[in-house]
Amino acid sequence: MPSSTVLDDYLSPLLAGNRTACRDIVRRQAIQTSDPFRLYTELLWPAMERVEKLYRGDRINAAAEHMATRINRSIADQLQLHLPRSQPNGKRLLIACADGEPEELGAQMCADLFEARGWETYFLGGGVPNDEILSLVGQLRPDILLIFGTQPSGVPGVRRLIDLIRGVGAHPTLNIMVSGGVFNRAEGLWKEVGADLLAKTAHDAIPLAEKAEPHMHIPRPLGAAKKRRRRRRPASPAAATA
């Protein structure tokens, strides 16, 4: 299993943009562990999160963040071919993400790991309009729609997408899962936008999705206001004595 020392050893050339050194470390770990799944969850994913945290805290610049993200993505592309494959489980996943390279990386790794577990997986990436996502939900009828890596500015868009899907009723038994980004940092935000499930990592997302039970969402017309109960007026004295 990759240790914290291995992660630290990997981060140094990763942040420096040293592609050869990063590939050599991953190659050695692949020989030792013979389990690409663990390299995803215990090396590439923690490295991705560390890079994001360093960049968000202004401890690395955009150049270092971009190089590190692209190295991680190229290595994930190579490891994906060696992931052990489970038999198809009859479940379907649609993944969308924020419009950014780091978010695409996390969403892509989620797609790879779900696919290895037997899910039929469709990976949209970022920048897809809500109406086109809605159309795909109706066409593919996935068990799970996973929205990954939302930034604070993207929260209203996620809320609008979920309201659109629920309001139209294209797939009433769909479970919507959010993961990564601001949803990992702001407690309870996933509930506020109307999601059904929250997963901190891809490692958490898979068992959570596999255990999720479909439940019926009753469509409500978009823009429809919730009905308020009318207060019953107390009877007048005259009526009471009539």
Q: Which tens digit of pLDDT belongs to each residue from 184-218? A: 999 999 999 999 999 999 889 999 999 999 878 87
Whole-angstrom CA distances from 54 to 11, 18, 50, 51, 64 are 11, 18, 6, 5, 10
Q: What is the pLDDT of residues 211-242, one digit of tens each?
A: 999 878 877 665 554 444 444 454 444 444 44
Q: What is the pLDDT of residues 75-117, one digit of tens each?
A: 999 999 999 999 999 999 999 999 888 999 999 999 999 999 9
More reliable by pLDDT, 240 or 120: 120
- Assign domain 92-211 one CATH number from 3.40.50.150, 3.30.950.10, 3.90.230.10, 3.40.50.280: 3.40.50.280
Q: Where are the beta strands (DSSP E) in the chain?
A: 92-97, 120-125, 144-148, 175-179, 197-199
Query: In CATH terms, are 4-80 and 92-211 the same topology?
Result: no
| Tokens, residue 122 | 């469709």
pTM for the structure as a whole: 0.86
Would you list the domain boundaries of the chain?
A: 4-80, 92-211
Q: What is the CATH number of domain 4-80?
A: 1.10.1240.10
Rounded distance between C-alpha atoms, residue 43 and residue 11, angstroms? 10
Rounded distance between C-alpha atoms, residue 223 and residue 216, angstroms? 20
Question: Is 25:68 a contact under the CB 8 Å cutoff?
Answer: no
